[in-house]
Structure 1
Amino acid sequence: MSNAYSDAAARPPVKTRPVKTRYDGVMLFLHWNVALLILVAFAIAQGRGLVPRGPERTALMDVHRSLGVLVLALVALRMVWRAVSPPPPMPADTTPLLLLAAKAGHLALYALMIAVPLAGVTMTQAHGHPVTFFGLFTLPTLVGENHAFGDTLEKLHELLGTAIIVLAGLHAAAALVHQYVLKDGTLSRMLPWGNR
C-alpha cells in the first residue's frame, strides 16, 4: 500500500526554468544598434548646416531619413521580440517608485522612437518630397503636400528629437546609478560582454 510520502518520492522532480538575469542576444543587438542609429541621425541633423545647400546636403539628409526609417523598423521588431522573450526582472529589492520610474521611462522612450521617425517622414512628404530608404525603395505616401502642416511637423520633429536625446541621456545616467551607486547589476544585464 502506497502512502503520500512514497508517491511524492516516486514522481520525477519538476523542472523549472532558470530566472533570466540578462537580456538575450537579439535584444542586446537591437538595443545597442537602435541607440547608435539615433545618435548618428541626431548628429547629422545637428551638423547639416555645415554642409552647403545642394546635392551634398540633400544626400546627407536622405541618409538621416533612411536611418530614421531603420530605427522605426528595428523598434517594431524590438517590440515583437520583447513580447516573445520578456526582459529579465528588475532586482528583487527594487523599490516600487523605481519600478514605476523605469516602466514610465521605457514607455516614453518607445513612444519617442516611434513618433520621431514618423514625424520626420510625414514632414518630408508634407513638404512635397518622397522618402526613400537608402535609395532602394520609396516609402508609401502618408500625407499629401501641405507646407503649413509640414512646417508644424518640422517643429514637432525637432522638439521630439531633442526630447529623445535628453530622455536617453537620463536613461543612461539612471543605469549608471543603478550599477555603481545602488550596485544592483542593472546595467550589466544589457552590456554585450560579461556572464550570460
Structure 2
Amino acid sequence: MRANRMPPAAMQCRPHTGEALSMAASDARSGRLGFNRLQRRPARDRYDGLARFFHWTFAACIVYASVAGYTLTRLANGPVHHFLSQLNMSIGTVLIVLFPFRAGWKLVRAEPRAMHGVSARQQLLAHGVHGVLYLTMFAVLASGFLMVPNGYTFLGLFEIHTPFQKGPLTDALFAVHRASCALLAGLVVLHVLAVVKHQWIARNDVLRRML
C-alpha cells in the first residue's frame, strides 16, 4: 500500500500556524493580565504632588493672612499698615487665581485610600467639613476682593481694579469677609485638632498622606 504523504509545503505550514495561534493566545492572556493589573492597582497612601502643593500653599497663606488681618485691626494708619494691607490683598489675589484650579483638581483627582481604623461615619464627617472649608475659602476670597473700593496695587507692580466704590455695599461685604474669616479660622483649628488626634492618639500616620 502506498502511504499518503503530506506535501512538504503543508508540513512546513503546520508549525507556523501552531506558533501563530500560541502567540495570539499568549497576547490575549497578557492583555487580560494587564487589564486585571490595572483594575487591581492599589490606591495611593498619599495625596498626589499637585494636591500637596495646593494644600500647603493655601495653608501658609491662610495662616499669614489671619495673623496679618488681626494685626491690621490693631495698627494705626501709616506706612506699616499700608504695606501689610497691600501684601494681604496681593496674597489674596494669588489665592483667587489658584482657587478654581484647586477646586477643579479636587473633583477629578484620585483620593488616597481610607485610613486604617477610620469609620465610614468619620469619613463622611471629614468630607462634609472639607466641603464647608472650600465654601468658606470661596466666601473669604470673593468678599475680600469685592469689599476693596477703588482697586489696589499687586505687589507694587500693577493696579487691579475692583468693581465698587466705597459705600454701604462695600461695608456689607467687609462684614461678610470678617465673619467668613472667623469661620475659616475655626475650621482650620478643627482641622489641626483632627490631625493631632489621628497622628498622635490614633497613630494612623495621617501626616504622611500630605507630606
Alpha-carbon distance, 1:49 to partner: 4.1
> Is the Cα–Cα contact under 8 Å of residues 120 and 153 in structure 1 kept in the other structure?
yes
Q: Show the counterpart of 1:4.
A: none
Counterpart of 1:77 in structure 2 is 101
Within 5 Å, give how 1:97-116 maps onto structure 2.
97-116=121-140
Structure 2 SS opposite 1:138:
strand
Q: Aligned-pair distance for 1:82?
A: 2.4
User: What is the TM-score when the length of structure 1 is the normalising length?
Assistant: 0.81
- Inter-partner Cα distance in structure 1 for 2:195 and 2:66: 22
Q: Give, as a single letter, the amino acid of the residue that structure 2 aligns with 1:70.
A: V
Q: CA deviation at 1:10?
A: 6.6
CA distance in 2: counterparts of 1:139 and 1:87, whole angstroms = 36
Q: Distance in 2 between matches of 1:135 and 1:187?
A: 37
Match of residue 46 from structure 2: 22
CA contact (8 A) 1:75 1:110 kept: no
Deviation (angstroms), 1:116: 0.3
**Aligned counterpart, 1:180:** 200
Q: Distance in 1 between matches of 2:42 and 2:118?
A: 20
Runs of 4+ more than 6 Å apart: 7-10
Larger of the two Rg values belongs to structure: 2
Q: Secondary structure at the match of 1:132?
A: strand
Q: Aligned partners of 2:146 and 2:160: how far apart in 1?
A: 10
- CA RMSD between the two structures: 2.4
Deviation at 1:90, TM superposition (A): 1.8
CA contact (8 A) 1:120 1:154 kept: yes
The 8 Å contact of residues 72 and 117 in structure 1, kept in 2 or not, is answered as yes
In structure 2, do the counterparts of structure 1 residues 9 and 64 end up closer, same or farther at CA, with 3 Å as the change threshold? closer
TM-score of the two chains, using structure 2 as the length reference? 0.76
| Contact in 1 for aligned 2:164/2:170 (Cα 8 Å) | no
Within-5 A mapping of 1:28-107: 28-91=52-115, 93-107=117-131
Q: Which has the higher helix share?
A: 2
Unaligned runs of 5+ in 1: 1-6
- Aligned equivalents of 2:130 and 2:172: distance in 1? 27
Instruction: State how far apart, in whole Å, the 1-side matches of 2:164 and 2:42 are.
Output: 52
Equivalent residue, structure 2, for 1:3: none
Question: Quick one: structure 1 residues 72 and 86, their matched pair in 2 at CA, closer, same or farther if it must change by over 3 Å?
Answer: farther
Q: 1:135 aligns with which of 156, 173, 176?
A: 156
- DSSP 3-state at the match of 1:144: coil
Distance 2:166 2:76 in 1: 26
Q: Following TM superposition, by how much is the alpha carbon of 1:52 offset from its aligned partner in structure 2, in angstroms?
A: 3.0
Runs of 5+ consecutive residues of structure 2 not aligned to the other structure: 1-24
Q: Cα gap change, 1:26/1:151 in structure 2, threshold over 3 Å: closer, same or farther?
A: same
Provide the rounded CA distance (Å) in 1 between the counterparts of 2:89 and 2:118. 39
